[in-house]
């Protein structure tokens, strides 16, 4: 048994009162929906400080990435067809393909598809590829579709990392990527 399972078993043994799961159907019936989820996702990505671009038919994705980040010295990718990458992150001993986009908040579900999940958080600039057919209206729909894949980890990323102090001074890239671009194909 893994340490994760050991911890979960300990919690289960220590739980004395169990509660039934709430019925989420009423909430789902009133969840936000949009006439065009792709346009809403694009708008929300801009609202959260990220960037969304559409990959046009026949457009070279490697050229788009290079033009967007001309000063990039190291580009990590384990995706076939990303030839501008300078290294495969799976070959790194120490510490992006988006699976689902959410129009409601501009978030992208990232299932861990590289050995070192820290890559998603230590990158200065993060590029996520997202199929426009995988954009849903809201989080209710997104949670019905997610899974954690081979590595057992996934997370939502919505624009660049940001934090604000008590004086409301917004700092971008404080705890992760300073720049996030979603390429919608």
- Read off the pTM: 0.64
Count, residues in the chain? 185
Q: What is the pLDDT of residue 46?
A: 87
Task: Please give the pLDDT value at position 93.
Answer: 56
What local confidence, expressed as pLDDT, does residue 95 receive? 42
Give the closest residue to 184 by CA, choosing from 72, 75, 50, 66: 50
Per-residue pLDDT of 59-114, as tens digits, reads 999 999 999 989 888 888 888 889 998 888 777 554 434 468 888 888 888 877 66
Q: What is the pLDDT of residue 67?
A: 92
At residue 40, the pLDDT reads: 93
């Amino acid at each position: 048994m893994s340490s994760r399972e050991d911890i979960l078993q300990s919690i289960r043994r220590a739980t004395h009162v169990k509660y039934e799961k709430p019925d989420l159907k009423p909430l789902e019936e009133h969840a936000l929906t949009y006439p065009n989820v792709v346009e809403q996702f694009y708008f929300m990505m801009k609202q959260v400080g990220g960037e969304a671009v559409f990959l046009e038919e026949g457009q070279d994705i490697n050229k788009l990435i290079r033009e967007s980040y001309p000063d990039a010295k190291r580009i990590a990718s384990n995706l076939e067809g990303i030839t501008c990458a300078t290294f495969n992150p799976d070959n790194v001993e120490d510490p992006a393909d988006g699976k689902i986009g959410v129009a409601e908040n501009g978030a992208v579900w990232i299932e861990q598809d590289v050995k070192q999940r820290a890559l998603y958080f230590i990158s200065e600039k993060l590029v996520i590829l997202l199929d426009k057919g995988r954009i849903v209206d809201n989080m209710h729909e997104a949670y019905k579709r997610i899974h954690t894949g081979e590595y057992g980890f996934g997370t939502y990323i919505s624009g660049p990392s940001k934090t604000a102090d008590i004086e409301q001074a917004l700092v971008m890239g404080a705890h992760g990527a300073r720049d996030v671009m979603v390429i919608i194909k």
